[in-house]
Structure 1
Amino acid sequence: MALIPGILAKARTASLPRILIVGGGAGGLQLATRLGSTLGRRGQAHIVLVDRLPTHFWKPLLHEAASGHRDPASHTIEYAAQAKRYGFEFVQGELKSVDRARRVATIGAVLDNDGTQIVPQREVPYHDLVLAVGSVTNFFNVPGAARHALPLEHVGHAEDFRKRFLAACAKINHLADAPGAPLVRPVCINVIGAGATGVELAAALRHAVGQLAAYRFRALDPDRDVQIRLIEGTARVLPVLDPRISARTRAQLERLHIEVLTDTRVASVEEDAIVTSTGAVLPADMTIWAAGVAGPAMLRTIEGLALSASNQVIVTDTLQTPDDPHVFAFGDCAACPAGGSSRYLPPRAQVAHQQAVYLSQAFARRIAGKPVAGFVFRDSGTVVSLGESGALYQADLRVRDRSVIVDGLAASGLYRLLYRKHLLGVHGTRHTLLQTLGQFLQRYNRPSIKLH
């Protein structure tokens, strides 16, 4: 009896090598898209992407979502739609365990908002497993930090912070608007960690307060009623960048009336205060932690997986684990050697992007029986946005042994191009142009900040 087309297609797919990508972040989604549109479409491999959420949001934009400057609903990508368009399969669920001997990954059940099970726990076999599970907030065991400080790992965290921020501004606006109102203590927002995320968030929040005052909270004095404090344990903001860019950034932050505290280590985080290592008590209505990342705890459940001190998967220059050539890791969750040195590449979006491109080519070469060279990272520079105050860009071109620093309109343009580059990697030229046009037109129909 002849097989019906659906059964025939399933039989053909089952015979192909299955590349299972866990994590649909910037790197994972791009890798699945590239492999699906090449190996998947050509019938050379079955590409499967797993993520616990149904949609993707580019993580470097989370500070804009948290401040209300970017509506996540207009910038998410639905994994199922992306899978249909580019020839891969999407499986929703969280990675629970990996049986490397059987080459099987266990994917957790999918639940609705009230905890009712929608899809049960499943086992998904693989030929090659690619871990792209990103990173989580590293609280460095600071007492109270995990309980009282908000992380900024995904859209849910950004929305939670934005709503609390909006409510705090509404409350103090009401108090300031009352007849004969006395001066009240300002809303105190503490951002712990003055790396790129912390700096960008602090600047975005200061601009957001001014916009909220202009649109909605007319009694709110942005400088008097909202205090934004940026706390850094090292000697300067943006400590991994050139000291010149750190100095310029700090000066700009202080012009925005953001209090910058360097050489200030957090000893504990309380519900309404931060206690420093010197015993100083800093008032806090909201505290957000942007001081470091680590690999997700679930990586420790994979037996035999070598992990770094930051709980990242240790990989070789081919992004494979040293003792299992069928397990790969890249992006924030991977400890990848930096140019043959003892250091690891930093958790940055451009690292994940380049590794996704590399892996898409490496898998194609492996299937074709060709040799695969090691991954080489090429730093294209770092750009830090200060919102309406512009941006700063650093490139380590080492002209006269110094980094090249660009600011003004050129740096702002480079910052905007980063997101478009990400969209090109997952959408291609036509869809990116259409989406860019749609977002450009929306700017004229909506306020510059989310007001509810």
Structure 2
Amino acid sequence: MIQIEQQAGATTQRVQGAQRNENTAGHRIVIVGGGVGGLGLATRLSESLGRAGLARIVLVDRWPTHFWKPLLHEAASGQLDPATHQLQYAVQAQRHGFEFEQGELTALDRTQRHITVSALRDADGREILPARQIAFDTLVLAVGSVTQYFGVPGAAEHALPLESVAHAEAFRRKLLDACLRASHARRARTAQADTPVSINIVGAGATGVELAAALRDTVRLLNRYSPFSLDPVRDFRIRLIESSERVLPALSETISARAERMLESLGVEVLSATRVTEVRADAVLTDGGSPLASDIAIWTAGIAGPPLLRTLDDIAVNRNAQISVNRTLQCTNDANVFGLGDCAACPADNPGAFLAPRAQVAHQQALFLARALKCRVAGKALPEFVYRDAGTLVGFGREGTIGSLSGGLLTQPVFVDGWFATAVYKLIYRRHVMTLTGFARMALDTASHWLRRRVHPVIRLH
């Protein structure tokens, strides 16, 4: 992991307080959040408005590196080293001509049009960078989401979220520790020798399902190494708990039924129509009966906007703490503030409905804003965002990939599986990398990952 001292060194571009630089012409666009949408938008705007001298682009994020969140389940299961898939914001800023400022958004002044970014501190609490104010003409909030625990007692204390690389690493560490304890108990023939390692995943959406499948691959791979020599079937119990009637409730019944069969073939215990009522350090309680033993619990059941959004100078938010935006992605009570990605409640085609928090929504919104903000800088009317669903793919590790594809020449969603679905699934990430770095760097990055998997173990053991 990159130490905080190195993080400070990565902040190569400084925005000096709230004062505008009188020697810099153009419109100042500040983007808070370097996820799929935020980083993609900063890159595109810097290559168009930035290079033309029409705008100054500033990206703000609390972390020094970008990681594609759909890969978090692979990082959590230990099958992917996050360090080899992270992109440094300062490097991206230098290559494409925008500015990067590291820190966490703490306040917004809509009247004076500036944000406040927190001080950056080292591991001992010493200040590296002071709190700063950054002026803007246009502000884009792309701060993502946080885990929604729905008020379940003990969930926030005892169930890990999966929002970041830090959370994925915490889960992976707990998994290895649990395996070491269990392996020792088998060899020492203690009272716990016959107790399986119990992993409870709350929420059977795409993240929960993919994590459950990845964990089955992981325990099979761990069995190769003597410190973790446990039977992949007998010594592990992986449960997927879902309050809805089926797994992947947001997808079609055909995909859901196929997913459940694949999970069963992997030995994942699926508990649908089961509501979690409490999470304890050693058990998960449900409305279905007896407590479920739990060495590790992870919560993938829902998201909400960051609580900070409720405090930002009366920015309009819904009851889920998401920014209320219209079809131009402008905040409903401030035309200078835009919402992008998971943190924004963007109207869908159906009246009263909103777009789901998905990576492809954020990607399409970034493409839209890259065009719309050119209109804004030029003083033209803004277009309206139209979402086009490209389908959904869900990976099951060595068991393959299933899902649906839509859009383009397809008039109806088409179910896909097998090698074709797996190839498309992998290409989605490579397209994301290519969008940010270009084809040549993406190709080299892909080759380096291929070589790494043939030199290093396919599972992380420390």
For the aligned pair, the TM-score class normalised by the smaller chain equals over 0.9
Aligned pair partner of 1:17 in 27, 37, 41: 27
Residue range with higher mean Cα deviation, 242-251 or 365-374: 365-374
Residue of structure 1 equivalent to 2:164:
154
* Stretch deviating more after TM superposition (103-112 or 182-191): 182-191
Aligned to 2:9: none
Cα 1:399–1:123, aligned 2, differ >3 Å: closer, same or farther?
Answer: closer
For the aligned residue pairs, the C-alpha RMSD in angstroms reads 2.0
Instruction: Identify which of 427, 448, 452 aligns with 2:458.
Output: 448
Could you say if the C-alpha distance between residues 87 and 248 of structure 1 is closer, same or farther in structure 2, counting changes exceeding 3 Å? same
**Alignment match, 2:445:** 435
Compute the displacement of 1:70 (Å): 0.6
Q: Give the alignment's TM-score, normalised by structure 1.
A: 0.95
Q: Which residue of 2 aligns with 1:249?
A: 259
Q: Give the secondary-structure state (helix, strand or coil) at the position aligned to 2:243.
A: coil
Q: Aligned pair count?
A: 444
Counterpart residue identity of residue 293, structure 1: I
Shift of 1:384: 0.3
Give the structure 1 partner of residue 218 of structure 2.
208
Question: Which of the residues 311, 334, 354 maps onto 2:321?
Answer: 311
Q: Which of 374, 377, 380 is the aligned partner of 1:370?
A: 380
Q: Distance in 2 between matches of 1:420 and 1:400?
A: 23
Instruction: Give, in whole Å, the separation in 2 of the partners of 1:430 and 1:360.
Output: 23
State the percentage of identical aligned residues. 52
Aligned structure 1 segments of 4 or more residues deviating by more than 6 angstroms: 179-182, 397-402
Deviation for aligned residue 1:183: 4.2
Shift in Å at residue 431 of structure 1? Answer: 1.4
1:93-242 to 2 correspondence within 5 Å?
93-178=103-188, 183-217=193-227, 219-242=229-252
Native 8 Å contact 2:327 2:347 kept in 1: yes
Please give the TM-score of this superposition, normalised by the length of structure 2: 0.93
Do the aligned residues in 2 keep the contact of 1:33 with 1:426 (CA within 8 Å)?
yes
Contact 1:33 1:86 (8 Å CA) reproduced = yes
Change (3 A) 1:279 1:95: same
Aligned residue in 2 for 1:291: 301
Offset from partner CA, 1:186-216 (integer Å, 9 cap, x none)? 1100000000000000100111000010244
Note if contact 2:121-2:127 (Cα within 8 Å) is conserved in structure 1.
Answer: yes
Q: Distance in 1 between matches of 2:191 and 2:312?
A: 59
Helix, strand or coil at the partner of 1:267: strand
Q: Separation in 1 of the partners of 2:382 and 2:170?
A: 44
For structure 2, the residue ranges without an aligned partner over 5 or more in a row are 1-15
Tell me whether 385-394 or 401-410 shows the greater mean CA deviation. Answer: 401-410
Between 1:112-121 and 1:227-236, the stretch displaced more is: 112-121
How far apart, in 2, do the equivalents of 1:180 and 1:373 lie? 67
User: Equivalents in 2 of 1:362, 1:286: separation in Å?
Assistant: 45
Partner SS for 1:288: strand
Residues 182/331 of structure 1: CA separation in 2 closer, same or farther (3 Å cut):
closer
Q: Which residue of 2 aligns with 1:3?
A: none
**240-249 or 402-411, larger mean C-alpha shift:** 402-411
1:253-311 deviations in whole A, cap 9, x for unaligned? Answer: 11111110000000011111011124431110100000000000000011221112211
Once structures 1 and 2 are overlaid, which stretch shifts more, 420-429 or 62-71? 420-429
Corresponding residue number in structure 2 for 1:79: 89
Q: Decide whether the 8 Å contact of 2:115 with 2:135 is kept in 1.
A: yes
Asked if structure 2 preserves the Cα contact closer than 8 Å seen for 1:22 and 1:50, the reply is yes
Q: What secondary structure is seen at the aligned counterpart in 1 of 2:223?
A: helix
Q: Cα offset for 1:60? A: 0.6
1:176–1:219 CA contact under 8 A, matched in 2: no
- Alpha-carbon contact 2:67-2:87 (below 8 Å) kept: yes
- The residue that corresponds to 2:6 in the other structure is none
Per the alignment, residue 326 of structure 1 pairs with 336
SS at match of 2:301: coil
- Residues 321, 179 of structure 1: CA spacing in aligned structure 2 closer, same or farther, 3 A cutoff? closer
Query: Do the aligned partners of residues 250 and 217 (structure 1) sit closer, same or farther apart at CA in structure 2, a change above 3 Å counting?
Result: farther
Contact 1:397 / 1:404 at 8 angstroms: preserved in 2?
no
